Structure 1
Amino acid sequence: MTISLSSKSRRIVVLNRWSDDFAAYHRYIDHAVHDVAYVCTPHAAAALRASRIIHIEQLPDFGDEDALHAAVRACSSALGGIDRLVALSEFDLMAAARLRNSFSIPGDLPDAVVRFRDKAVMKYAVVTAGLRAPRFAALENPTSPDADPIDTMRFPLIVKPRTGAASVGVRRVDTEAQFNALLPTLPLVEYECEEYIEGTIYHVDGFVVDGAFVIARASRYINTCLEFAQGKPLGSVMLDPGPLNDALLAFADASLRALALVNGPFHLEIIRGPDALYFLEIGARVGGGEIPFLFRDLYGIDLFALWVAQQSGDEACFAEQTRAAFAASTLRARGGFLMLPEPVGKVFVGAQLPQGIAALYETILPKQHHVFDGAGGYDTILARFRYRGASEHEIAVAIYATLRDFRFTLAEVATLATFEKGTRHDPN
């Protein structure tokens, strides 16, 4: 790979919707060297920690793109122009692409980003390249030649927002009657449907430079993201080297080539069906939940730092971090995570952590008396656990032991009357 070195000062605008540690952009951008402006929600603005910020624009949310455009224009005026635009949330990638287009800023543009945001577009691209994906159709145009006729699909069907994330709005439909009843309730232009493929779901996460893996890891889900949204635990275990791991990485490489991702992070989900591997969906972003923390803790690699260096045009930093990630890719450590969903409407009182699980190295619990309101996503939930060890088996055993032994106490919001509840979840 060839990366030229440059550390000249740049005028950078950051779109930030995060109000937690993810908003610590001063770790990634030298605000003393570069002129940096931010567009933030009010809570996100309060989370910024850089000592030198040229300008801040605040918006109630980023859903109004006209207001977002005006805010970026105000930043441009304060900076005297914009050299780079940084956006890390999956929900902001398309808006950022359109802003780059409008303000002539280098970086990912809409025709590239749409392949990683629109689930119908991405599936058509990988199928055209000869990879397998579930039979699918965009609901706004179910007779499109780019898709399969709905009346030829087998139930169950999965109906999902074309640009959604974290399984929000995803539904499983088991019969034609259910499907016909659901359709009138949906904005069809925003949805697609696909055949349900029975099988284990895997994810591959990493970073590519010049079209080649710098670092990549394949993992097996315990339960699914959709089941997590429905109240079941979600776990993940990194695979040992071997034929399955190699096959998943090869499938990921072929998928990225089909979608023309040359530089950047990715989170790809793959189904191992009864007859083959199937493409499920992909994001040109850092994986969510505990994934970035595992890369940091196991391999010393901050995927967000890599991504910010790429987006901000800091070629010297990007080259240095790329070399470090490539070197770390040979490390054999394996890890995994477990996330327990929010018990919505309850209050967290306390927990008893499982003992004697050597692979469990980090537990994140909510603050005492935290009220679960359903807005926790993958972060402020009942519990998050991280694991590291020498093998896939060791990590899996540790996750199931945690599911068996973790205990917690909740209270009702209205009465604060506590009750003890175990977590003897059926992981299947």
Structure 2
Amino acid sequence: MDRSMKQPALVYVDDDFSPDGLYSFQRNHFASAKAMGWARVTLVQDSHPHPGRPEALSDETVTIRGTGVDTIISAVKALQTRYDVRLVLTYPGQCRPGSTLHDDLAAACAKLDLPQRDPKSLQCVNDKSLMRARLADRNIPSARYATVFDTGGLQQAAKDVGFPLILKPAAGTGSVLIRRCDTMEELSEHYALFCRKFAETPLTADFAGGGRIALIEECLIGIELTIECMVRGDTPHALLVNEKLHVSYEQSTVLEHLLITPPTSLSASDVSTVKRYAEDVLRAVGLRDTMVHLELFLTADGPRAVEVNPRVGGFDVPTQFRELLGIDPFETGMALMRGDVDEDTCAGILSRAEQLNDAYAMFVLYPPAPGFVTGLTGLQEAAQQEGVLHHTTHLSDDYFDISLSERFVAKFWTRVKDADHAWALYTQTCEMVRVDMATGQPRQIAGVA
């Protein structure tokens, strides 16, 4: 069949064997692919313990044995007899331990003459210790840090970094097993918890390709920000800056509650400074043709990177892109990979990003205690408040425990006058909405919605 007569297709290689799965990346890209008229095909390993999940998201699934280069090439070539395969993607975060999927997929796509991500740059940003080492090599300031492989290295790491400090997985996701420690006693206690919980926590064990490695880093003091970026070719562009107005440190996680854009605590000069810094960071780590979610602090000594994620941010960041910049960030990300974002399109996005004046806030609600969430009382009344543009719920049958992972039950996207208005709207919503809970033992550890 002539290629012009075939339906375009997005192919996704599913390497996620965790109990809950990080399927928002696939789900969001498949939704955008469907809107563009593309078929959605998933390559599912024959050993996949949860094949029903990718089946529910796909127009078609193809069973494969392993994810080696030849296996991927063979499966995609078979699909090319029926589809015009435009892209082959997988989750760009950490692979399963022992997996070489990023390397294998890049090699397969190169032989298939399809766009690919650079596995070395993915490894650099997915391992926070490698990312910090790369920044140090390029003389880009970042937080002091040390890596810890066992209890024997704990004392020296604490001495090198200094208290207060943050202990977290060197590679992980969902703000899992993160804790601020102010004393050696707290650090020892949390490291022991980190070691006990690591293997049974899917968002670390199943997405930590390097194994059980802890990162100890300086506890940065300053204004905490997220920056949503676009990299066209090898040129990065910082687009949206969000200020975190409310963040809480729980037993073994960090929860973000309330963010506002544009950042109200920053001057125009500050915004320019953090954007330039973010672009320097992205040049250093080598990401190309992708959307990026970058987190940093603006300290008294200047910006300091916390993490770089080769994907669109969570919460209502996709809504920000759609409503403030007029683009679907997932469609744009795929267009970047294919080289389909021309200079005029890029210039238009940058122009709209520079002209943002009105303030918008996003916030989320968490369960008050571990347990099963049975419903939300008062949600509709809260959604009718002036300034609320829309809301979504994130309920499931899973066990919620915010002491271990960042798992919210509802999120709100709002238009506000300023930070005080954002705080008032968030506080009022927390008072209006009751999270109804049921007690019981967890059936499984919940992941990130």
TM-score under structure 1 length normalisation: 0.75
Tell me if structure 2 keeps the 8 A contact 1:267–1:286: yes
Instruction: Kindly provide the amino acid, as one letter, of the partner of residue 14 in structure 1.
Output: Y
Q: 1:360 aligns with which of 382, 388, 392?
A: 388
Q: Which residue of structure 2 lines up, in the alignment, with residue 13 of structure 1?
A: 11
1:119 aligns with 2:128: yes
Q: Distance in 2 between matches of 1:399 and 1:95?
A: 44
Contact 2:10 2:33 in 1 (8 A): no
Task: For residue 290 of structure 1, report the CA deviation from its aligned partner.
Answer: 1.1
Match for 2:186: what amino acid?
Q
Residue identity in the other structure for 2:11:
V
The 5 Å alignment of 1:151-162 reads 151-162=159-170
1:15: how far off? Answer: 3.3
Mapped pair 1:328 → 2:338: no
Residue 201 of structure 1 aligns with which residue?
224
- Report Cα offsets for 1:6-57 as digits up to 9, x if no partner: 999777522363485654243365437xxx6313542232133x5xx5xx13
Using the alignment, how far apart are the partners of 2:312 and 2:251 within structure 1? 19
Please tell me whether the aligned partners of residues 342 and 381 of structure 1 are also in contact (alpha carbons under 8 angstroms). yes
Question: Structure 1 residues 212-221 or 202-211, which shifts more?
Answer: 212-221
The answer as to whether partners of 2:246 and 2:258 remain within 8 angstroms in 1 is yes
User: Are residues 1:350 and 2:373 paired?
Assistant: no
Tell me, what secondary structure is at the counterpart of 2:143? coil
Give 1:276 shift: 2.6
Q: In 2 relative to 1, CA 412–116 (structure 1 residues): closer, same or farther, beyond 3 Å?
A: closer
Pairing 1:100-249 to 2, within 5 Å after superposition: 100-105=105-110, 106-140=115-149, 150-183=158-191, 186=195, 189-214=212-237, 216-224=239-247, 230=253, 234-239=257-262, 242-249=268-275
**C-alpha distance 11-413 of structure 1, shift in aligned 2 (>3 A):** closer
User: Helix, strand or coil: the match of 1:197?
Assistant: coil
Partner Cα separation in structure 1 for residue 226 and residue 399 of structure 2: 28
Q: Distance in 1 between matches of 2:144 and 2:309?
A: 20
**Alignment counterpart, residue 57 of structure 2, candidates 25, 29, 47:** 47
Contact 1:88 1:285 in 2 (8 A): no
User: Residue type of the partner of 1:328?
Assistant: R
Distance 1:20 1:262 in 2: 22
Question: Please, which runs of 5 or more residues in structure 2 have no aligned partner?
Answer: 15-22, 45-50, 199-210, 441-449
Q: Is the 8 A contact 1:126 1:255 kept in 2?
A: yes
Q: Amino acid of the residue matched to residue 133 of structure 1? A: S
The answer to whether the 8 A contact 1:28-1:308 is kept is: no
- Aligned match for 1:27, one of 13, 26, 34: 34
Change (3 A) 1:365 1:231: farther
Residue 90 of structure 1: aligned partner: 93
Question: In the aligned structure 2, how far is the partner of 1:272 from the partner of 1:143?
Answer: 33
Equivalences for residues 250-269 of structure 1 within 5 A: 250-269=276-295
Amino acid at match of 1:13: V
| Cα shift at 1:201 | 0.8
Change (3 A) 1:357 1:413: closer
2:41 to 37, 43, 46: 37
| C-alpha distance after superposition, 1:84-140 (max 9, x if no partner) | 422356356996522324425341132121121110011111122222211111213
Counterparts of 1:382-397 in structure 2, within 5 Å, are: 382-388=409-415, 394-397=417-420
Partner amino acid, structure 1, of 2:141: R
Q: Deviations over 1:48-68 (max 9, x none)?
A: 3x5xx5xx1369xxxxxx734
**Offset at residue 242 of structure 1 (A):** 0.7
TM-score normalised by length of structure 2: 0.72
Match of 2:306 in 1: 280
Could you tell me how far apart the structure 2 residues matched to 1:159 and 1:143 are?
15
1:337 to 362, 386, 399: 362
Distance 1:174 1:234 in 2: 23
Over 3 Å counting, the alpha-carbon distance change for 1:225 and 1:303 in structure 2 is farther
User: Is residue 86–residue 308 contact of structure 1 (8 Å, CA) maintained in 2?
Assistant: no
Once the 2 structures are TM-superposed, how far is the Cα of residue 351 of structure 1 from its aligned partner? 1.3
Q: Does 1:75 align with 2:101?
A: no
Structure 1, residues 369-397: CA drift from partner, whole Å, max 9, x if none?
A: x65622899997332111235xxxx2423
Describe the shift of the 1:72–1:380 C-alpha distance in structure 2 as closer, same or farther (beyond 3 A).
Answer: farther
Q: Kindly report the root-mean-square deviation, in angstroms, between the aligned alpha carbons of the 2 structures.
A: 3.9
Q: How far apart in 2 are the matches of 1:414 and 1:142?
A: 36
Q: Is the 8 A contact 2:226 2:293 kept in 1?
A: yes
Shift of 1:157: 2.0
One-letter amino acid matched to 2:66? A
- Counterparts of 2:160 and 2:187 in 1: how far apart (Å)? 14
